[in-house]
A and B are shown apart, each in its own frame.
Chain A
Amino acid sequence: DQQVKQNSPSLSVQEGRISILNCDYTNSMFDYFLWYKKYPAEGPTFLISISSIKDKNEDGRFTVFLNKSAKHLSLHIVPSQPGDSAVYFCAATLSYSGGGADGLTFGKGTHLIIQP
């Protein structure tokens, strides 16, 4: 059973417009969420995160919104740039597991294509 879902395998957006990537989760115990960006032939790189005590976190052109009641989060990129073309993975985890650490649970990814 997939606990983190990204239902759009791909998304095409025009340069300069807003890109919105969506992610849903089923495990209500998840309380920390991350977005990773991945270029072909490279490892994922951390982009932005949000704790469940917040509903919004912003970092430059990137904003993540969290709706806990809907178990939904979204990543907004404004304005979209050609270099944003990549696969974006949503990930979730349990922050209480301190001492050790659990791996992240990833969605399947959304391939964002920014068109000139």
Chain B
Amino acid sequence: DVKVTQSSRYLVKRTGEKVFLECVQDMDHENMFWYRQDPGLGLRLIYFSYDVKMKEKGDIPEGYSVSREKKERFSLILESASTNQTSMYLCASSQVGLSTDTQYFGPGTRLTVL
């Protein structure tokens, strides 16, 4: 079974703090994704990566950056957290190739920015 793990289930940070959300997958997937889920807005793509050190902006990249130094790990960074970044953050991974490959999601990190 594919396993996608996220470093924290719940996180509380203060405005202006630098926040790191970590995601690790154990299936040697090339593609990794970060989404955020907000009530009434569904899931929105922040960034994705199709290879080590490669990254592509998604639909809402503003205020975020990412890092992929190793194939299995994809980090989402909030350089200076703001209250509007309070959300559920979901990481996903999929095999290389067509985007029809199923994405497997982690359990999510509920981030609250005070």
Q: Give A contacts to B, CB under 8 Å.
A: 6, 9, 32, 34, 36, 41-46, 49, 51, 89, 91, 93-109
Number of A-B contacts (CB under 8 A): 86
9 A-B pairs with CB atoms under 8 Å apart are A34-B102, A41-B110, A43-B108, A95-B98, A99-B96, A101-B96, A102-B48, A106-B35, A106-B44
The answer to whether residues A44 and B105 also contact, given A97-B98, A101-B31, A102-B99 and a CB cut-off of 8 A, is: yes
Report the contact-size class of chain B (Cβ under 8 Å from the partner).
Answer: 35 or more
Q: What residue in chain A is nearest B48 (Cβ atoms)?
A: A103
Chain B residues closer than 8 Å to A43, beta-carbon distance: 4, 90-92, 105-108
Q: What residue in chain A is nearest B41 (Cβ atoms)?
A: A108
Which one of B9, B50, B104, B108 lies within 8 Å of A101 (CB-CB)? Answer: B50
Give the 6 A-B CB pairs with smallest separation, nearest first. A43-B105, A103-B45, A108-B42, A100-B50, A106-B43, A101-B99
Q: What residue in chain A is nearest B56 (Cβ atoms)?
A: A100
Q: What residue in chain A is nearest B110 (Cβ atoms)?
A: A41
Contact (Cβ within 8 A) B107 A108: no
Interface hub of B43, B59, B96, B104 (most chain A Cβ within 10 A): B43
Contact (Cβ within 8 A) B90 A94: no
Q: What residue in chain B is nearest A94 (Cβ atoms)?
A: B99
Complex: A34 Cα to B43 Cα, angstroms: 13
Chain B residues closer than 8 Å to A105, beta-carbon distance: 45, 59
Chain A residues closer than 8 Å to B40, beta-carbon distance: 9, 108
Contact (Cβ within 8 A) B105 A101: no
